[in-house]
């Protein structure tokens, strides 16, 4: 009879102990290393951050918009730490210098080949259960955006080039370009 393999269990302190330049996320005590994003990924994140920030500023809203790397202590526990590509937080009492404690209102993940399963399955479930109001999965390879409005219990799919309405902001939409 072989020895049972002890499963590693990590906490937020392990995330902060990583060497400079090494990024990882923590989901239910499991650490997932993050590959450095490519140029096209960063271009999409920058454009989304710009459009959302501009809308919030023009409407004099109180929400804050942060691109990755930005720490989200999703369940305010020691075993869940994520760095969404874009986080929109409207309750600024959740924020401090280390990041957001609790669920952001709106999370956007831009799919990379290495993140596909995490973005479409694992993070979808985590964000929904943590209280995120809206979750977008932007898939540049497939040129589509999946929009999950957890408050309305809807899931929609849009193609790049279509106007995509933001559920948490009345009258705001984004058109994803290639």
* Confidence band of 110 (pLDDT split at 50, 70, 90): very high
Distances (CA, A) of 54 to 50, 92, 113, 123, 127: 6, 18, 29, 27, 25
Say if residue 146's pLDDT is above 60. yes
Arithmetic mean of pLDDT, 8-32 = 93
Q: How far apart are CA 160 and CA 62, in angstroms?
A: 28
Total-model pTM: 0.93
Q: Which residues are 145's β-sheet partners?
A: 138, 158
* Confidence band of 138 (pLDDT split at 50, 70, 90): very high
Q: How far apart are CA 111 and CA 94, in angstroms?
A: 26
In the predicted model, what is the mean pLDDT of the chain? 93
Which of 19-23, 31-35, 111-115, 135-139: highest mean pLDDT?
135-139
Q: What is residue 93's predicted lDDT score, i.e. its pLDDT?
A: 96
- The mean-pLDDT minimum among 31-45, 86-100, 127-141 falls in 31-45
Q: What is residue 6's predicted lDDT score, i.e. its pLDDT?
A: 57
Q: What is residue 122's predicted lDDT score, i.e. its pLDDT?
A: 94
* Confidence band of 60 (pLDDT split at 50, 70, 90): confident
């Amino acid at each position: 009879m072989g020895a049972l393999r002890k499963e590693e269990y990590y906490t937020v302190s392990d995330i902060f102990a990583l060497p400079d330049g090494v990024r990882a996320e923590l989901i239910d005590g499991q650490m997932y290393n993050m590959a450095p994003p490519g140029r096209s990924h960063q271009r999409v994140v920058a454009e989304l951050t710009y459009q959302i920030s501009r809308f919030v500023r023009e409407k004099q809203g109180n929400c804050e918009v942060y691109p990755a790397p930005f720490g989200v202590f999703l369940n305010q526990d020691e075993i869940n730490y994520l760095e969404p590509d874009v986080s929109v937080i409207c309750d600024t009492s959740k924020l401090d210098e280390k990041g957001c404690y609790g669920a952001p209102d709106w999370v956007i993940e831009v799919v990379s080949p290495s993140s596909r399963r995490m973005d479409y399955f694992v993070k979808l479930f985590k964000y929904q259960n943590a209280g995120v109001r809206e979750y977008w999965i932007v898939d540049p390879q497939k040129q589509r955006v999946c929009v999950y409005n957890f408050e309305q219990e809807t899931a929609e799919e849009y193609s790049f080039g279509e106007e995509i309405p933001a559920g948490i902001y009345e009258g705001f939409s984004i058109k994803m370009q290639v």
